[in-house]
Structure 1
Amino acid sequence: MNFENILFEENNNIGYITINRPKKLNALNKATIEELNEAFESAREDHDIKVIILSGSGEKAFVAGADISEFAEFSQKEGRRLAAEGQEKLFDVVANFPKPVIAAINGFALGGGLELAMAAHFRIASNKAKMGLPEVSLGVIPGYGGTQRLPQLVGKGRAMEMIMTAGMIDAQQALDYQLVNHVTAPEDLIPLAEKIAGKIMNNSMVAISAAIRAVNANYEVGVNGFEVEIDGFGSSFGTEDFKEGTSAFLNKRKADFPGK
């Protein structure tokens, strides 16, 4: 599969999806969103891929925002469509992806870039990273889920301040805010993501997929997350992974999950 704006490869059961527009600081445009959608859908069907590491190419940016030149002249209707289609094709796809998605933030993650990172299941950052939602400085608001996911991660007050000031925070502050899970040196960012991915892959990927659904259900309006958890827990008893996991535990051996 050939892409113009992203890189996509698989190695040791990890899918590496990298936004690759370094001259544009990896800014998101419609073409890039389309390619990211294709890559995630391909990764969904690829049984060799168990975990996704999402990053940006170069040393300066994860994704430095949306490509403003693409929508500067949009009407209200076009703006609404831009947000709706972007959320449907990419941001909600990432948030609800059945395989773990780790965002490795290697530089600027601004606007749509931070929104993309927040859609991932969790984030790690280079100590050179900077994060923010500067949309109000352009006379618009975050449109790819930022007003919803940022408060969920850092709390309402901090989210309001970040959005209203349009300012950036550094990696240490993002860690203090619990916006990212870990901060490390730039050269250690991908190795750390791979180390975490390795720990994840020691476990049942079937169970992890069910856990993703259950955790996400807590943030869905009108959905009883406890019921989703109960259903997922019960369904686990019918999987081959459950049989293998319990057998391995009782026989004091390492589990070899079939992923079924």
Structure 2
Amino acid sequence: MEAYVSLNIENKVGHIEFFHPNRNSMPSDVLQKLSETISAAGNHPDIKVIVLKSEGDRTFCAGASFNELVEIDDAETGQQFFSGFAKVINAMRTCPKLIIGRVQGKAVGGGVGIAAAADYCLATQYASVKLSELSIGIGPFVIEPAVTRKIGKTAMSQMTINAEAFFSAGFAKEKGLYGEVFNTVEELDLAVSSLTEKLASYNPEALKEMKAVFWEATDHWDALLAERAQISGRLVLSKFTKKTLKRFR
């Protein structure tokens, strides 16, 4: 299967699904398409609530595409790549409709950022999380505001410093990244369906106003995440990072 981002509408619920054959990693084209699809769903008159999910059952999102990162040879290209994650997070932030994250498997790096930018996440027990960026010579700079907003600076720091460790879905629930954790994907899907059906029946104006309240004091994120993308774009050129990425390519 080739990488894709799709949008399907069922009973006033917009289902956005992304896929990449390499553990749902995120190259630039997928990031661009995802941000565009989120914005389109937010403006679609037939959509009352959005579900964001990925294909497969092992990994929700493996984060940045290492194959693309290792090819970056100048700071401008590096900034452009990491700006892709900034655009996705900001599209989720400014989307006027609630976004429910369906996290069926592991989330790494940028995948944690995407989960954190959802308004509410439901997950399975297999949805452990990891912020691995320091171990490859960069850092979770772009996603940090979204992750810190959701789980707090202390938990975010723990995950960042323990860059090679997976933290359990239970940890993620305890810290507020996940609202609920289920034993199976089947149970997860039933819960997602039940929740979104209820939300789609609520007053859309109230949902829109509540979304705005959830994201108060984040209007500066367009500039902030662009600055963070510049930092990551510079660090990805370091000898340490280049050497490390080649091992994982």
Q: TM-score of the superposition, structure 1-length normalised?
A: 0.78
Q: Is the 8 A contact 1:83 1:143 kept in 2?
A: no
Look up the match of 1:46.
44
Per-residue deviation at 1:86? 3.2
Taking a change above 3 Å as real, the CA distance of residues 38 and 148 of structure 1, as seen in their structure-2 partners, is closer
Look up the match of 2:76.
77
For structure 2, which runs of at least 5 residues remain unmatched after alignment? 222-249
Which 4+ runs in 1 deviate beyond 4 A?
Answer: 219-222
Taking a change above 3 Å as real, the CA distance of residues 85 and 55 of structure 1, as seen in their structure-2 partners, is closer
d(CA) in 1 for partners of 2:56 and 2:47? Answer: 24
Q: Is the 8 A contact 1:19 1:62 kept in 2?
A: no
1:95 is matched with which residue: 93, 96, 107? Answer: 93
Per-residue deviation at 1:136? 0.7
Per-residue deviation at 1:134? 0.6
Look up the match of 1:86.
85
Higher relative contact order (CA 8 A, sep 6+): 2
Look up the match of 2:214.
215
Q: Is the 8 A contact 2:102 2:123 kept in 1?
A: yes
For structure 1, which runs of at least 5 residues remain unmatched after alignment? 223-260
Q: Is the 8 A contact 2:39 2:95 kept in 1?
A: no
Look up the match of 1:31.
29
1:161 is matched with which residue: 153, 158, 162? Answer: 158
Root mean square deviation, CA, Å: 1.9
The alignment partner of 2:215 has SS state of helix
Q: Is the 8 A contact 2:28 2:84 kept in 1?
A: no
d(CA) in 2 for partners of 1:77 and 1:4? Answer: 25
d(CA) in 2 for partners of 1:188 and 1:53? Answer: 16
Q: Is the 8 A contact 2:5 2:18 kept in 1?
A: yes
The alignment partner of 1:41 has SS state of helix
Per-residue deviation at 1:135? 0.6
Look up the match of 1:254.
none
1:148 is matched with which residue: 124, 135, 145? Answer: 145
Deviations 1:171-208 (A, max 9, x none): 11111111110001221112211211122123211121
Taking a change above 3 Å as real, the CA distance of residues 39 and 221 of structure 1, as seen in their structure-2 partners, is closer
The alignment partner of 1:104 has SS state of strand
1:171 is matched with which residue: 149, 169, 172? Answer: 169
Taking a change above 3 Å as real, the CA distance of residues 38 and 218 of structure 1, as seen in their structure-2 partners, is closer
The alignment partner of 1:168 has SS state of coil
2:117 is matched with which residue: 97, 116, 119? Answer: 119
1:56 is matched with which residue: 21, 37, 54? Answer: 54
| Matching residue's letter, 1:173 | F
Correspondence 1:187 to 2:177: no
Deviations 1:15-54 (A, max 9, x none): 1111122x31111111111221232233123211111111
Q: Is the 8 A contact 2:32 2:84 kept in 1?
A: no
Correspondence 1:5 to 2:4: yes
Look up the match of 1:110.
108
d(CA) in 1 for partners of 2:119 and 2:126? Answer: 21
Compare CA radii of gyration and give the structure with the larger one.
1
The alignment partner of 1:161 has SS state of helix
Q: Give the length in aligned residue pairs.
A: 217
Identity level (%): 24
Q: TM-score of the superposition, structure 2-length normalised?
A: 0.81
Correspondence 1:199 to 2:171: no
d(CA) in 2 for partners of 1:171 and 1:86? Answer: 23
